[in-house]
Structure 1
């Protein structure tokens, strides 16, 4: 069984099209979406529809929640709020009802999944440091926790002796005596100065985690944001412009 964990598409259909091709080339059996399907990008409806049609399990991120207006979410960035108003108008009431029905976390046989923090799903807490990981590992008992929100692929490993962070790895062999806290990165807006989309494949038979970085037409995605009159800051974030 090969399971793909994707997150933070943020309305970027250009990234989704390249993602879909890569998923097929890598023989993925199941796709799990860890939230933030919409906002920031120029094609929220198309991105949402793709997730609904192709993902086996879907959970809700804070931008999904904010736009569906199903719970109170504090978004401080005025440009994100401005774009959220536009995004709200691009999807239907049925779409918002669907988003509202999605869970904030989910239990698999050997993993817990959430958008941000497994201890308080929906808290919008960023798990990016060894200290964050040290505080988070006691919050789950299964071997894996997969999460999004950070927009950066990170793998924290807890052994009997220590906790370590693995970055910039293509494939990692799993040790059955270790626990893993895995940030799967972002499909639609990576934030590690690498414009390529990122996601994680968990290969259960091979016992490995595979970090996928895939080229996509990010400049085209940025151009479409500008053409639709959306805040330029989001075009710059996708294009990695200064």
Structure 2
């Protein structure tokens, strides 16, 4: 079975359309969304509708929470608040109910899913370094933890003697004596100076993890943000390259 883990779509339907094509090409059997469907992108309604239709499991990220106001979330960036207010106005009451009802984590036996990190789901903490990983691994016993929030694809690997970080690999063979902490990156707003969307495929038959980077028309996504009079900083971040 080939399972896709996606996160941080952030209302970017242009990235989602490219993602959908790649999922079909990669013959993915199931899609699991780790949250932050909303905010920062010009097409929140279309993006949410796609997630509803295509994802078997959907988590709620902090921007989903902030837009729907279903729980208190501490976000102070005035541009993010302005975008959230606009996003709120694009959604129906049924959309709000759907997003508000989503869990912040999900346990699948040997796999745990969370938007940010497994010790306190909803904490908005960024697990991006080896030190972060060393603090996080003791918080769960499952073999895999897949998470989003960082907007950067990262694979932390723990064995009996060490913890290591691997980046910029296209595939990794799963080993029996290892435990994994995997940041799946971002579909709608990558933040590693690579504008291509990113996501992870877990192939349970080949026993491998695949990192996918996919090109999409990020210029068009940025232009639509500007055309709708939304904060330009969120258009600029889509086109950031080395």
Question: Do both proteins adopt the same fold according to a TM-score greater than 0.5, normalized to the shorter chain?
Answer: yes
Secondary structure at 1:181 match in 2: strand
Query: 1:117, CA displacement in angstroms?
Result: 1.1
TM-score, normalising length: structure 1:
0.99
Provide the aligned C-alpha RMSD in A: 0.9
5 Å-filtered alignment, 1:47-66, equals 47-66=47-66
- CA-to-partner distance for each residue in 1:26-82, whole Å, 9 max, x for gaps? 010110000000100000000000000000000000000011111000112110001
* Residue in structure 2 matched with residue 164 of structure 1 by the alignment: 164
Q: Secondary structure at the match of 2:146?
A: strand
1:73 — aligned with what? 73
Q: Is the 8 A contact 2:39 2:63 kept in 1?
A: yes
Output the CA distance in 2 between the equivalents of 1:227 and 1:241.
22
Match of 2:219 in 1: 219
Q: How does 1:76-87 map to 2 (within 5 A)?
A: 76-87=76-87
Cα displacement (A) at 1:241: 6.8
Partner of 1:8: 8
Distance 2:35 2:206 in 1: 27
Point out the more displaced range, 106-115 or 218-227. 106-115
Following the alignment from structure 2 to structure 1, what is the Cα–Cα distance between the partners of residues 219 and 145?
Answer: 33
1:241 and 1:170 map into 2 onto residues whose CA distance is 20
> Judging changes above 3 Å, is the alpha-carbon distance between structure 1 residues 241 and 142 closer, same or farther for their aligned structure 2 residues?
closer
Secondary structure of the corresponding residue to residue 41 of structure 1: coil
Q: 1:109 Cα shift?
A: 2.8
Unaligned runs of 5+ in 1: none
1:183 — aligned with what? 183
CA distance in 2, matches of 1:206, 1:165: 22
1-structure distance, mates of 2:213, 2:123: 27
Q: TM-score, normalised by structure 2?
A: 0.99
Distance 2:15 2:204 in 1: 26
Corresponding position: 1:197 with 2:166 = no
